[in-house]
Amino acid sequence: MKLKMLYSFLKTDIDEIEKELNLAIESDTALLKDASLHLLQAGGKRIRPVFVLLSAKTGDYDIHVIKNVAVTLELIHMASLVHDDVIDDAELRRGRTTIKAQWDNQVAMYTGDYMFARALDYMTIIEEPIAHRILSNAIVELCIGEIAQIEDKYRFNQNLRDYLRRIKRKTALLIAVSCQLGAVAGKVPEEVHTRLYRFGYYVGMAYQITDDILDFTSSEEELGKPAGGDLLQGNITLPVLYALKNEELAPKIKKVHEYTQKEEMSLLINEILATDAIQKSAQLSQLYLKKALKELDALPPSKAKKSLRDIALFIGKRKY
């Protein structure tokens, strides 16, 4: 089953958000509009808007209000992708040339800054101060997380706590606030929106751990990049942390640097796969998933609740 099937009843509203995203990037400056459109047309799962809509369904659902939160979060995500491509020196994203490759770093920086400002502009339609406190804290934390990721590169003596804190900021936080802000915009009581925050946080953690596992277990064809790419770039992910506990393997892992040869990496990946690192990582991902599902238990039965549950399970089972 495809992810989209799990929330097909939202199709009209998701189309509305897509339309709004197109309006959001309108600009009299042709190049800015072209660059933004270039990224928008590359598509994406729009998973954050989906979480916003589903969470909002737990309260007073008015698409004309909720869509502003959904557009905000997708624009923030898009702005971060444009800047990430400068950070990663990436030529391709979702099979299309990146803005930095199609134009240059400067255009990418201006486009990202423009999109971020557009996002905040949309967010100001929401007048609840708490919504702004939640989002602004998340944005700052997100940046700190990205900086920590660079600081922690090739730092093999980091621990599980470092890793979890990093993926919280890098991935889980934006999913968590997508859920929480959807609920805040739906004017639900605090108890419900903090519950949805926790649901999003746990799902996000499970999602990122799964992503980190797939970097080792998927083929180059499925990933669109060589397997083990994270380790090669110095990102110490959960499977690596577990594999580092193997005394024989640890010295070999610690020797990895950005110029390690492909053949050498393939051998190392096979050795990591032969340990229990993947299995233990999957266990932790499942544990987060279980916690996510438990948060949903207290919510009254609804189509939205079922979709949130199905999406969480889908994320837990995804193969690439």
Partner 1 sequence: MNKQKSSRWMEETLQYIKEQLHHSYLHNAIGAPEIDEKRLSLLLLPFQITGSYSELDKAYVSTAMLIQTALDTHEKVSVQETDSLKHRQLTVLAGDFYSGLYYRILAQIPDIPLIRRIAHAIQEINEHKIDITSKKLDKVEDILFSLMKIESAIITQVFAHRGFDKYISLAEDLLVLNRLAREKDQFSSDEHSIFFQQLAKISSSAPQMYHNDDLDTHYNLFTQTKNQIASKIKELEIPFESLKGSVFIPFFEAAVQPKIYVEEG
**199 scored as a contact of partner 1 (CB under 8 A):** no
Segment near partner 1 (CB under 8 A), from 144-152, 168-176, 185-193, 275-283? 144-152
Binding mask 146-185 for partner 1 (x = CB under 8 A): xx--xx----------------------------------
Restricted to residues 42-101, the positions that interact with partner 1 (CB under 8 A) are 80, 83, 86-87, 89
**142 scored as a contact of partner 1 (CB under 8 A):** yes
Token couple for 169? 């900021």
Q: What is the dihedral of CA 44, 305, 196, 10, to 10 degrees?
A: 40
| Nearest to partner 1 of 86, 284 (CB atom) | 86
Strand partners, 96: 93
The overall longest dimension of the chain from CA atoms, in Å, is 60
Q: Which listed residue (4, 9, 19, 144) binds partner 1 by CB under 8 A?
A: 144
| Nearest to partner 1 of 109, 296 (CB atom) | 109
| Nearest to partner 1 of 46, 83 (CB atom) | 83
| Nearest to partner 1 of 8, 136 (CB atom) | 136
Those residues with Cβ within 8 angstroms of residue 253's Cβ, 6 or more apart along the chain or in another chain: 156, 231, 240, 243, 244, 268, 272
Instruction: Report the C-alpha gap between 15 and 41 in whole angstroms.
Output: 14
Restricted to residues 11-30, the positions that interact with partner 1 (CB under 8 A) are 27-29
| Helix axes of 173-185 and 129-151: crossing angle, nearest 10 degrees | 170
Contact between 286 and 188 (Cβ < 8 Å):
no
CB of 34 to partner 1, least distance (A): 10
| Nearest to partner 1 of 76, 192 (CB atom) | 76
| Nearest to partner 1 of 29, 41 (CB atom) | 29
Restricted to residues 102-141, the positions that interact with partner 1 (CB under 8 A) are 103-107, 109-111, 113-114, 116-118, 120-121, 123-124, 127, 129, 132-133, 135-137, 139-140
Residues that bind partner 1 (CB under 8 A): 27-29, 31-32, 80, 83, 86-87, 89, 103-107, 109-111, 113-114, 116-118, 120-121, 123-124, 127, 129, 132-133, 135-137, 139-140, 142-144, 146-147, 150-151
